[in-house]
Structure 1
Amino acid sequence: MKTELNITLIAPGCAITGEIVVDHGVSCFGVLNGGIISTQGLLHIGEGGFVKGSAQGEHVRVDGRVDGDVHARGSLEINGQVSGDIYYSGTIRLGPHASLDGTLKRVARMLTIESEPVDDQSPIAGVPLTAPKAVEREASNVTDISRAIG
Protein backbone atom coordinates (compact mmCIF):
# COMPACT_ATOMS: atom_id res chain seq x y z
CA MET A 1 0.00 0.00 0.00
CA LYS A 2 1.40 3.37 -1.03
CA THR A 3 1.04 6.28 1.35
CA GLU A 4 1.29 9.82 -0.02
CA LEU A 5 2.84 12.57 2.04
CA ASN A 6 1.64 15.98 0.94
CA ILE A 7 3.46 18.96 2.39
CA THR A 8 4.16 22.49 1.21
CA LEU A 9 7.59 23.87 2.12
CA ILE A 10 8.32 27.57 2.32
CA ALA A 11 12.12 27.44 2.32
CA PRO A 12 14.56 29.74 4.14
CA GLY A 13 15.24 32.88 2.12
CA CYS A 14 11.86 32.60 0.37
CA ALA A 15 9.42 35.50 0.75
CA ILE A 16 5.75 35.17 -0.22
CA THR A 17 3.12 37.93 -0.20
CA GLY A 18 -0.54 36.94 -0.05
CA GLU A 19 -2.88 34.42 1.55
CA ILE A 20 -2.09 30.70 1.34
CA VAL A 21 -4.70 27.95 1.77
CA VAL A 22 -3.64 24.30 1.48
CA ASP A 23 -5.38 21.00 2.18
CA HIS A 24 -2.30 19.34 3.67
CA GLY A 25 0.66 20.11 5.93
CA VAL A 26 2.89 23.18 5.65
CA SER A 27 6.41 23.89 6.91
CA CYS A 28 7.40 27.55 6.78
CA PHE A 29 11.04 28.53 7.25
CA GLY A 30 10.82 31.68 5.10
CA VAL A 31 8.79 34.88 5.28
CA LEU A 32 5.06 34.97 4.56
CA ASN A 33 3.46 38.40 4.37
CA GLY A 34 -0.16 37.25 4.57
CA GLY A 35 -2.25 34.62 6.30
CA ILE A 36 -1.88 30.86 6.03
CA ILE A 37 -4.49 28.11 6.44
CA SER A 38 -3.73 24.39 6.50
CA THR A 39 -6.99 22.41 6.54
CA GLN A 40 -5.30 19.10 7.41
CA GLY A 41 -2.03 17.93 8.90
CA LEU A 42 0.65 20.00 10.60
CA LEU A 43 1.19 23.72 10.13
CA HIS A 44 4.78 24.27 11.25
CA ILE A 45 6.37 27.71 11.47
CA GLY A 46 10.01 26.67 11.78
CA GLU A 47 12.97 28.49 13.31
CA GLY A 48 13.62 31.55 11.17
CA GLY A 49 10.08 31.36 9.76
CA PHE A 50 7.97 34.51 9.99
CA VAL A 51 4.25 34.88 9.24
CA LYS A 52 2.82 38.40 9.19
CA GLY A 53 -0.87 37.52 9.28
CA SER A 54 -3.05 34.84 10.81
CA ALA A 55 -2.02 31.18 10.95
CA GLN A 56 -4.63 28.41 11.16
CA GLY A 57 -4.32 24.65 11.12
CA GLU A 58 -5.41 21.33 12.53
CA HIS A 59 -2.12 20.88 14.41
CA VAL A 60 0.03 24.00 14.78
CA ARG A 61 3.64 24.27 15.93
CA VAL A 62 5.34 27.67 16.17
CA ASP A 63 9.13 27.61 16.50
CA GLY A 64 9.55 30.89 14.60
CA ARG A 65 7.43 34.03 14.74
CA VAL A 66 3.78 34.86 13.98
CA ASP A 67 2.53 38.46 14.00
CA GLY A 68 -1.19 37.75 13.89
CA ASP A 69 -3.81 35.46 15.39
CA VAL A 70 -3.19 31.72 15.66
CA HIS A 71 -6.07 29.20 15.39
CA ALA A 72 -5.47 25.52 16.24
CA ARG A 73 -8.31 23.02 15.87
CA GLY A 74 -6.30 20.14 17.34
CA SER A 75 -2.98 20.48 19.12
CA LEU A 76 -0.92 23.65 19.53
CA GLU A 77 2.74 23.88 20.51
CA ILE A 78 4.54 27.20 20.88
CA ASN A 79 8.30 27.41 21.26
CA GLY A 80 8.68 30.72 19.40
CA GLN A 81 6.96 34.13 19.40
CA VAL A 82 3.31 34.97 18.82
CA SER A 83 2.05 38.56 18.74
CA GLY A 84 -1.71 38.12 18.47
CA ASP A 85 -4.57 36.22 20.01
CA ILE A 86 -4.42 32.44 20.23
CA TYR A 87 -7.57 30.34 19.76
CA TYR A 88 -7.29 26.62 20.42
CA SER A 89 -9.78 23.82 20.87
CA GLY A 90 -7.52 20.86 21.65
CA THR A 91 -4.32 20.63 23.65
CA ILE A 92 -1.74 23.36 24.10
CA ARG A 93 1.93 23.19 25.06
CA LEU A 94 4.13 26.20 25.75
CA GLY A 95 7.87 25.57 25.51
CA PRO A 96 10.50 27.19 27.75
CA HIS A 97 11.25 29.90 25.14
CA ALA A 98 7.63 30.69 24.20
CA SER A 99 6.81 34.38 23.96
CA LEU A 100 3.16 35.48 23.81
CA ASP A 101 1.79 39.00 23.32
CA GLY A 102 -1.98 38.57 23.16
CA THR A 103 -4.76 36.58 24.74
CA LEU A 104 -5.09 32.83 25.01
CA LYS A 105 -8.65 31.56 24.42
CA ARG A 106 -9.97 28.01 24.48
CA VAL A 107 -12.91 27.76 22.07
CA ALA A 108 -15.30 25.06 20.93
CA ARG A 109 -14.08 23.28 17.81
CA MET A 110 -17.04 24.58 15.81
CA LEU A 111 -16.06 28.20 16.61
CA THR A 112 -12.65 27.93 14.95
CA ILE A 113 -12.39 29.47 11.51
CA GLU A 114 -12.69 27.00 8.63
CA SER A 115 -11.73 27.62 5.03
CA GLU A 116 -14.35 27.20 2.33
CA PRO A 117 -13.89 24.24 -0.02
CA VAL A 118 -12.15 25.09 -3.27
CA ASP A 119 -13.12 23.58 -6.63
CA ASP A 120 -10.10 21.49 -7.72
CA GLN A 121 -10.97 22.06 -11.41
CA SER A 122 -10.46 25.80 -11.19
CA PRO A 123 -7.22 27.10 -12.76
CA ILE A 124 -7.06 29.75 -10.04
CA ALA A 125 -7.50 28.68 -6.42
CA GLY A 126 -10.70 30.01 -4.92
CA VAL A 127 -12.22 31.10 -8.24
CA PRO A 128 -15.18 28.91 -9.23
CA LEU A 129 -15.43 27.64 -12.80
CA THR A 130 -19.14 28.36 -13.07
CA ALA A 131 -20.65 31.81 -13.06
CA PRO A 132 -22.51 32.79 -9.92
CA LYS A 133 -26.26 32.33 -9.98
CA ALA A 134 -28.33 35.40 -10.78
CA VAL A 135 -30.00 36.99 -7.80
CA GLU A 136 -33.60 38.05 -8.19
CA ARG A 137 -34.32 41.54 -6.97
CA GLU A 138 -37.61 42.52 -5.47
CA ALA A 139 -39.41 45.46 -6.99
CA SER A 140 -38.52 48.70 -5.30
CA ASN A 141 -41.22 50.41 -3.26
CA VAL A 142 -39.38 53.75 -3.12
CA THR A 143 -41.91 55.33 -5.52
CA ASP A 144 -44.87 54.12 -3.44
CA ILE A 145 -43.30 55.49 -0.24
CA SER A 146 -42.54 58.89 -1.80
CA ARG A 147 -46.15 59.16 -3.04
CA ALA A 148 -47.45 58.39 0.45
CA ILE A 149 -45.20 61.00 2.05
CA GLY A 150 -45.72 63.71 -0.61
Structure 2
Amino acid sequence: MKTELNITLIAPGCAITGDMVVDHGVSCFGLLDGGIISTQGLLHVGEGGLLKGMAQGEHVRIDGRVDGDVHARGSLEVNGQVCGDIYYCGTIRLGPRASLNGILKRVARMRTIEADAARAEQIADQSLNQATSRFPERADSNVTDISKAIA
Protein backbone atom coordinates (compact mmCIF):
# COMPACT_ATOMS: atom_id res chain seq x y z
CA MET A 1 0.00 0.00 0.00
CA LYS A 2 1.48 3.32 -1.08
CA THR A 3 0.85 6.43 0.94
CA GLU A 4 1.63 9.96 -0.15
CA LEU A 5 3.32 12.48 2.08
CA ASN A 6 1.82 15.94 1.65
CA ILE A 7 3.85 18.81 3.04
CA THR A 8 4.27 22.49 2.32
CA LEU A 9 7.86 23.71 2.54
CA ILE A 10 8.80 27.32 3.14
CA ALA A 11 12.47 27.22 2.19
CA PRO A 12 15.32 29.26 3.70
CA GLY A 13 15.46 32.72 2.12
CA CYS A 14 11.76 32.55 1.19
CA ALA A 15 9.38 35.14 2.64
CA ILE A 16 5.60 34.78 2.63
CA THR A 17 3.22 37.51 3.79
CA GLY A 18 -0.31 36.56 4.83
CA ASP A 19 -2.15 33.84 6.67
CA MET A 20 -2.09 30.20 5.54
CA VAL A 21 -4.51 27.34 6.15
CA VAL A 22 -3.35 23.90 5.02
CA ASP A 23 -4.79 20.41 5.42
CA HIS A 24 -1.41 18.71 5.70
CA GLY A 25 2.03 19.21 7.22
CA VAL A 26 4.14 22.36 6.96
CA SER A 27 7.88 22.96 7.41
CA CYS A 28 8.98 26.58 7.64
CA PHE A 29 12.68 27.43 7.35
CA GLY A 30 12.10 30.92 5.96
CA LEU A 31 9.95 33.89 7.01
CA LEU A 32 6.17 33.67 7.31
CA ASP A 33 4.70 37.05 8.19
CA GLY A 34 1.21 35.87 9.11
CA GLY A 35 -0.57 33.09 10.93
CA ILE A 36 -0.68 29.45 9.94
CA ILE A 37 -3.18 26.70 10.64
CA SER A 38 -2.34 23.09 9.81
CA THR A 39 -5.39 20.86 10.23
CA GLN A 40 -3.39 17.61 10.00
CA GLY A 41 0.18 16.44 10.29
CA LEU A 42 3.23 18.25 11.61
CA LEU A 43 3.60 22.02 11.74
CA HIS A 44 7.36 22.54 11.98
CA VAL A 45 9.17 25.86 12.34
CA GLY A 46 12.69 24.79 11.52
CA GLU A 47 16.00 26.19 12.69
CA GLY A 48 16.36 29.64 11.13
CA GLY A 49 12.61 29.83 10.47
CA LEU A 50 10.60 32.82 11.72
CA LEU A 51 6.82 32.88 12.05
CA LYS A 52 5.31 36.28 12.85
CA GLY A 53 1.80 35.26 13.78
CA MET A 54 -0.28 32.53 15.32
CA ALA A 55 0.62 28.86 14.80
CA GLN A 56 -2.03 26.15 15.16
CA GLY A 57 -1.61 22.48 14.41
CA GLU A 58 -2.12 18.88 15.41
CA HIS A 59 1.56 18.25 16.13
CA VAL A 60 3.76 21.32 16.50
CA ARG A 61 7.55 21.48 16.63
CA ILE A 62 9.37 24.79 17.12
CA ASP A 63 13.11 24.77 16.40
CA GLY A 64 13.18 28.35 15.11
CA ARG A 65 11.23 31.37 16.37
CA VAL A 66 7.51 32.12 16.68
CA ASP A 67 6.35 35.64 17.51
CA GLY A 68 2.72 34.84 18.30
CA ASP A 69 0.50 32.37 20.10
CA VAL A 70 0.96 28.62 19.58
CA HIS A 71 -1.94 26.13 19.74
CA ALA A 72 -1.14 22.39 19.66
CA ARG A 73 -3.96 19.82 19.65
CA GLY A 74 -1.71 16.78 19.93
CA SER A 75 1.95 17.07 20.78
CA LEU A 76 4.16 20.13 21.18
CA GLU A 77 7.94 20.22 21.15
CA VAL A 78 9.85 23.47 21.68
CA ASN A 79 13.58 23.68 21.05
CA GLY A 80 13.53 27.28 19.84
CA GLN A 81 11.93 30.57 20.89
CA VAL A 82 8.27 31.39 21.41
CA CYS A 83 7.24 34.97 22.18
CA GLY A 84 3.54 34.45 22.83
CA ASP A 85 1.14 32.28 24.75
CA ILE A 86 1.17 28.50 24.33
CA TYR A 87 -2.03 26.43 24.50
CA TYR A 88 -1.67 22.65 24.28
CA CYS A 89 -3.94 19.63 24.69
CA GLY A 90 -1.66 16.62 24.60
CA THR A 91 1.98 16.24 25.46
CA ILE A 92 4.62 18.95 25.68
CA ARG A 93 8.39 18.68 25.54
CA LEU A 94 10.78 21.54 26.17
CA GLY A 95 14.28 21.05 24.81
CA PRO A 96 17.53 22.43 26.24
CA ARG A 97 17.40 25.52 23.96
CA ALA A 98 13.72 26.31 24.59
CA SER A 99 12.95 29.95 25.33
CA LEU A 100 9.40 30.93 26.28
CA ASN A 101 8.04 34.44 26.79
CA GLY A 102 4.33 34.08 27.54
CA ILE A 103 1.94 31.84 29.41
CA LEU A 104 1.85 28.07 29.10
CA LYS A 105 -1.66 26.64 29.47
CA ARG A 106 -3.15 23.18 29.06
CA VAL A 107 -6.64 23.37 27.54
CA ALA A 108 -9.37 20.91 26.59
CA ARG A 109 -9.01 19.50 23.07
CA MET A 110 -12.51 20.50 21.98
CA ARG A 111 -11.87 24.13 22.88
CA THR A 112 -8.77 24.26 20.67
CA ILE A 113 -10.45 22.51 17.74
CA GLU A 114 -13.39 24.91 17.82
CA ALA A 115 -11.00 27.85 17.86
CA ASP A 116 -9.10 26.34 14.91
CA ALA A 117 -12.24 25.83 12.85
CA ALA A 118 -13.51 29.34 13.52
CA ARG A 119 -10.10 30.86 12.75
CA ALA A 120 -9.71 28.81 9.57
CA GLU A 121 -13.12 29.96 8.35
CA GLN A 122 -12.29 33.58 9.21
CA ILE A 123 -8.96 33.39 7.34
CA ALA A 124 -10.59 31.78 4.30
CA ASP A 125 -13.26 34.50 4.19
CA GLN A 126 -10.65 37.25 4.51
CA SER A 127 -8.53 35.71 1.75
CA LEU A 128 -11.51 35.49 -0.57
CA ASN A 129 -12.50 39.10 0.14
CA GLN A 130 -8.93 40.31 -0.44
CA ALA A 131 -8.61 38.39 -3.70
CA THR A 132 -11.95 39.76 -4.92
CA SER A 133 -11.00 43.33 -4.04
CA ARG A 134 -7.55 43.03 -5.65
CA PHE A 135 -8.81 41.36 -8.82
CA PRO A 136 -12.39 42.56 -9.35
CA GLU A 137 -12.33 41.37 -12.97
CA ARG A 138 -11.93 37.80 -11.67
CA ALA A 139 -14.79 38.07 -9.19
CA ASP A 140 -17.30 37.28 -11.93
CA SER A 141 -15.17 34.64 -13.62
CA ASN A 142 -16.70 31.41 -14.85
CA VAL A 143 -14.65 29.28 -12.44
CA THR A 144 -17.56 28.96 -10.03
CA ASP A 145 -19.94 28.29 -12.91
CA ILE A 146 -17.70 25.48 -14.15
CA SER A 147 -17.37 23.96 -10.68
CA LYS A 148 -21.16 24.12 -10.26
CA ALA A 149 -21.65 22.43 -13.63
CA ILE A 150 -19.23 19.65 -12.70
CA ALA A 151 -20.93 19.05 -9.35
TM-score (norm 1): 0.78
Pick the structure with greater CA Rg.
Answer: 1
Question: Residue type of the partner of 2:66?
Answer: V
Paired position in structure 2 for 1:102: 102
Structure 1 position 110, deviation (Å): 0.8
Paired position in structure 2 for 1:37: 37
How far, CA to CA, are the matches of 1:106 and 1:76 in structure 2?
11
Structure 1 position 115, deviation (Å): 2.9
Instruction: State the superposition RMSD in angstroms.
Output: 2.2
How far, CA to CA, are the matches of 2:128 and 2:25 in structure 1?
19
Paired position in structure 1 for 2:138: none
How far, CA to CA, are the matches of 2:57 and 2:98 in structure 1?
19
Paired position in structure 1 for 2:66: 66
How far, CA to CA, are the matches of 1:114 and 1:101 in structure 2?
22
Paired position in structure 1 for 2:90: 90
Question: Residue type of the partner of 1:95?
Answer: G
More helix by share: 2
How far, CA to CA, are the matches of 1:114 and 1:32 in structure 2?
19
How far, CA to CA, are the matches of 2:83 and 2:128 in structure 1?
28
Question: Residue type of the partner of 1:20?
Answer: M
- Partner deviation per Cα, 1:118-150 (whole Å, 9 max, x = no partner): 7xxxxxx767x59xxxxxxxxxxxxxxxxxxxx
Paired position in structure 2 for 1:147: none
Paired position in structure 2 for 1:76: 76
How far, CA to CA, are the matches of 1:89 and 1:104 in structure 2?
11
TM-score (norm 2): 0.77
Paired position in structure 1 for 2:124: none
Contact between 1:77 and 1:93, CA under 8 Å: does it hold in 2? Answer: yes
Change (3 A) 1:9 1:100: same
Question: Residue type of the partner of 1:17?
Answer: T
Paired position in structure 2 for 1:15: 15
Contact between 1:45 and 1:65, CA under 8 Å: does it hold in 2? Answer: yes
Q: 2:117 is paired with a residue of what secondary structure?
A: coil
How far, CA to CA, are the matches of 1:28 and 1:37 in structure 2?
13
Question: Residue type of the partner of 1:91?
Answer: T
Q: 2:97 is paired with a residue of what secondary structure?
A: coil
Paired position in structure 2 for 1:27: 27
Question: Residue type of the partner of 2:116?
Answer: E
How far, CA to CA, are the matches of 1:126 and 1:110 in structure 2?
27
Q: 1:40 is paired with a residue of what secondary structure?
A: strand
- Partner deviation per Cα, 1:21-64 (whole Å, 9 max, x = no partner): 00000000000000001000000000000000000000000000
